[in-house]
Structure 1
Amino acid sequence: MSIETIVDFGQATTAAERYRPAAEKVLKGDPEQAVFNHFESPCGQMNAGVWEGAVGQWTVNYTEHEYCEILQGVSVLRDQDGNAKTLRVGDRFVIPAGFRGTWEVLQACRKIYVIFEQKD
């Protein structure tokens, strides 16, 4: 492979995929989202890019492991027991597969993500 295969997020011109969570998952607001998936591995198990979310709250059920780094905004991640973690600019964390709860965007949020979908 050559240097041309390196994916530089700062130079990427990936088109946005805009979407909203399914209506039955939305708890508050109108959380429109966009993903700029800059990289997908040939096997399809790993993806990396930038995600943006508007103010709102929705339920989540992670089937993948996800590394995140918050670039902008404020969000709150809550587990099924109601325990909360506030996520701000500069926070870096991993959400393991199997996590269930809610994601709430308090201020428009932008994050880097790396997702690994484990195949059984």
Structure 2
Amino acid sequence: MTEIRKVIRLDRNGPPGTGMHEMECDPADFQSPLPIQHLHVYFSDEELGLNVGVWDTTTMQEAFGPYPGDEFIWVLEGEFAMIDGDGNAVEVKQGQSACFRNAIPISWKQDGYLKKFFITYLDPKAETPDIASAEGRVQVMDPDAPMVPLETTAPFTIAGPKPVQRENILFTNDAGNMSVGLWDSDAMASEMEPFPVHEFVQMLDGEVTITEEDGSAQTFRAGDCFFVPKGTVCSWEIKKYVKKYFAVLNA
């Protein structure tokens, strides 16, 4: 389990000086020759079944079967296809983001190199559901999807004027405790307090500065990716406007 309760900036090549490590691949997991894969896990909670990191692979196709967890990804390089039992494919390309539902019958097919940021949730205490079809359960995100105004500013306690914020929940897992969506906000400042959920953020527009209780601050801009573990004591400041994808786990 990762004990850190600080805001984590994700680097495309893993942490400087550490990088990513090569994974040991199991032939039973593939219907192709074994690929070369690398991984760095930035945050892990084994009790929850939550992992956040960066991963890459060479050409491969995974064995057909239930997908191991609810997952949100951002494709940094390359492209791939998710193949269902009827041979239908959903393609995800470089720069796109997508989410997959736990236990859908699917096979990941990869031609060439791919790298992704990911957040994966697989409750180790839950039984694998029996899902007959993957149809409609691989979702490629739309950054221009319409959003609706929010009445609440949760999870933030606002310090100062109430901002205008909008949201569109694009995915909710079967357990009801993980959601993925699109969110924006105009200028705001929040109180310093423990963050109530785990949140993975892909910045689409604008910038936000997050300050932690020790006074350290990080600014994230469009093209950045970061993770806030539940319980991290922090405040957020948006000077103009921010738009983001988010994946939130409330567990």
Bin of the TM-score, shorter chain as denominator length: 0.7 to 0.9
Instruction: Describe the superposition over 1:2-47 as per-residue Cα deviations: whole angstroms up to 9, x where unpaired.
Output: 332222322995652513437x932234322112111111111210
Pick which of 7-16 and 86-95 moved more: 7-16
Q: CA deviation at 1:54?
A: 0.8
Equivalent residue for 1:68? 201
2:196 corresponds to which letter in structure 1?
T
CA distance in 2, matches of 1:46, 1:27: 27
Q: CA deviation at 1:67?
A: 0.7
Q: Map of 1:86-105 to 2, 5 A cutoff?
A: 86-105=219-238
Q: CA deviation at 1:77?
A: 0.6
1:46 corresponds to which letter in structure 2?
M
Higher alpha-carbon Rg: 2
CA distance in 2, matches of 1:101, 1:4: 37
Equivalent residue for 2:137? 5
Q: CA RMSD in A?
A: 2.4
Instruction: Describe the superposition over 1:63-118 as per-residue Cα deviations: whole angstroms up to 9, x where unpaired.
Output: 22111011000111111222111110111011001012211111200011111122
The 1:15–1:26 alpha-carbon spacing in structure 2 relative to 1, beyond 3 Å, is closer
Equivalent residue for 1:49? 181
The structure with more strand, counted as a fraction of residues? 1
- Whether the aligned pair in 2 keeps the contact of 1:20 and 1:32 (CA below 8 Å) is no
Equivalent residue for 2:151? 19
Q: CA deviation at 1:55?
A: 0.4
Q: Is 1:37 aligned with 2:164?
A: no
- Whether the aligned pair in 2 keeps the contact of 1:20 and 1:31 (CA below 8 Å) is no
1:37 corresponds to which letter in structure 2?
I
- Whether the aligned pair in 2 keeps the contact of 1:31 and 1:54 (CA below 8 Å) is yes
Alignment TM-score, normalising by the size of structure 1: 0.82
The 1:11–1:29 alpha-carbon spacing in structure 2 relative to 1, beyond 3 Å, is closer
2:140 corresponds to which letter in structure 1?
D
CA distance in 2, matches of 1:116, 1:54: 24
- Whether the aligned pair in 1 keeps the contact of 2:211 and 2:218 (CA below 8 Å) is yes
The percentage of aligned residue pairs carrying the same residue is: 21
Equivalent residue for 1:83? 216
Equivalent residue for 1:111? 244
Q: CA deviation at 1:61?
A: 3.0
Unaligned runs of 5+ in 2: 1-132
The 1:56–1:11 alpha-carbon spacing in structure 2 relative to 1, beyond 3 Å, is closer
